């Protein structure tokens, strides 16, 4: 996420707004409506104050960050506070940036959960400055083996240990490549669940990508409920067959279903949310994959918020 380097000034009434929006968005289960800020990346770049203020007006009271752009973690924290939003979770670049620096940023932001995805095995450096780096990244991710995922689990445990020492909880966020059959029905996701320490590594279930991969989030929430701290809810049109390669997400593969607002696609979220409640998830964040072809991102965010609130009540 890239955010303009403008100077921010506090907005009056931030604390009162936070309290008001928290009351508005909490359902009978006590969970507020949240949004992953990656969804409004372009809008945040153009107008960070106006975009975050609009999200609060829409009815969100929690956000999960996806980088701070040109701002420091402290500046981003203050901006969220000023517009009446709370960030319980931050999505960070573990495995690609310095772990200690990322944890310092998470502490400054004031989050409880430090989250990442796509942890590469040791010995797989990717040069993202090289034009071929992205292509190599997809190749590595889509060819991970059983041994690779075992190594990734060890890396996650190490990050989790450092996070715990910093007073934070590490959580792993999935895409769809973790559900590729590695032989005998074994998947990378099952390896991560089995090989990570439950006290060090929690999971943030991206329910949409699970469904795209042909898996049922309810199954995981039922079998491993104590491992899941958060949910990402996203919807897709015309999910017809499993897609388990990361490359398909960025190459616009015709096999990849079309992203849409929750309640307008193929996924019935009511039983998934209920399973999340039973599992004891702490936070639920809407996320929608760009591009936004039917409605603009903020309009989509409003549609998502209304539907999510109906599921939380």
> Tens digits of per-residue pLDDT, 111-169?
999 999 999 887 666 776 677 778 888 889 999 999 999 999 999 999 999 999 999 99
- pLDDT tens, position by position, 132-143: 778 888 889 999
Q: What is the mean pLDDT of the chain?
A: 89
Here the tokens at position 221 are 């929430």
Residue 269 inside a domain? The answer is: no
Looking at the structure of the chain, the number of domains it has is: 1
Tell me, what's the pLDDT at 71? 82
Residues 75-96 have pLDDT tens digits of: 999 999 999 999 999 999 998 8
187 lies in a domain? yes
pLDDT at 130: 74
**23 compared with 131, residue with greater pLDDT:** 131
CB 257 within 8 A of CB 267: no
* Structural domain harbouring 120: 96-215+241-257
Question: What would the two tokens of residue 68 be?
Answer: 């701070």
Predicted confidence (pLDDT) at residue 1 exceeds the cutoff of 50: no
For residue 191, being part of any structural domain is answered with yes
138 within some domain: yes
Q: What are phi and psi of 101, to 5 degrees?
A: -65, -40
The maximal CA–CA distance of the chain, rounded, in angstroms, is 59
Could you tell me the two tokens for 81? 């506070």
Identify the H or E element spanning 237.
strand 235-237
Is 163 part of a structural domain of the chain?
Answer: yes
């Amino acid at each position: 996420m890239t955010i303009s380097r403008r100077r921010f000034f506090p907005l009056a009434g931030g604390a009162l707004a936070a309290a008001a929006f928290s009351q508005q968005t909490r359902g009978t289960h006590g969970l507020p409506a949240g949004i992953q800020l990656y969804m409004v990346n372009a809008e945040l770049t153009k107008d960070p104050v106006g975009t975050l203020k609009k999200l609060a007006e829409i009815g969100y009271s929690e956000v999960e960050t996806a980088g701070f752009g040109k701002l420091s973690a402290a500046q981003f924290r203050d901006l969220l506070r000023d517009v009446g939003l709370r960030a319980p979770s931050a999505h960070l670049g573990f495995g690609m940036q310095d772990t200690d620096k990322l944890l310092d940023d998470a502490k400054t932001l004031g989050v409880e959960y430090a989250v990442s995805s796509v942890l590469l095995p040791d010995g797989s450096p990717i040069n993202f400055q090289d034009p071929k780096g992205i292509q190599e990244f997809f190749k590595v991710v889509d060819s991970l083996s059983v041994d690779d995922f075992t190594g990734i689990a060890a890396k996650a445990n190490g990050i989790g240990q450092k996070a715990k020492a910093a007073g934070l909880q590490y959580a792993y966020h999935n895409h769809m490549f973790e559900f590729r059959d590695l032989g005998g029905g074994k998947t990378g996701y099952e390896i991560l669940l089995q090989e990570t320490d439950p006290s060090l590594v929690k999971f943030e279930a991206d329910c949409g990508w699970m469904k795209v991969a042909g898996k049922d989030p309810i199954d995981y929430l039922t079998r491993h409920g104590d491992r899941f701290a958060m949910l990402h809810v996203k919807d897709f049109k015309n999910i017809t067959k499993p897609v388990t390669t990361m490359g398909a997400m960025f190459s616009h593969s015709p096999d990849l279903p079309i992203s849409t607002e929750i309640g307008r696609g193929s996924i019935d979220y009511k039983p998934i949310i209920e399973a999340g409640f039973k599992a004891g998830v702490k936070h639920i964040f809407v996320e929608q994959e760009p591009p936004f072809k039917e409605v603009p991102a903020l309009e989509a965010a409003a549609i998502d918020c209304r539907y999510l609130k109906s599921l939380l009540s």
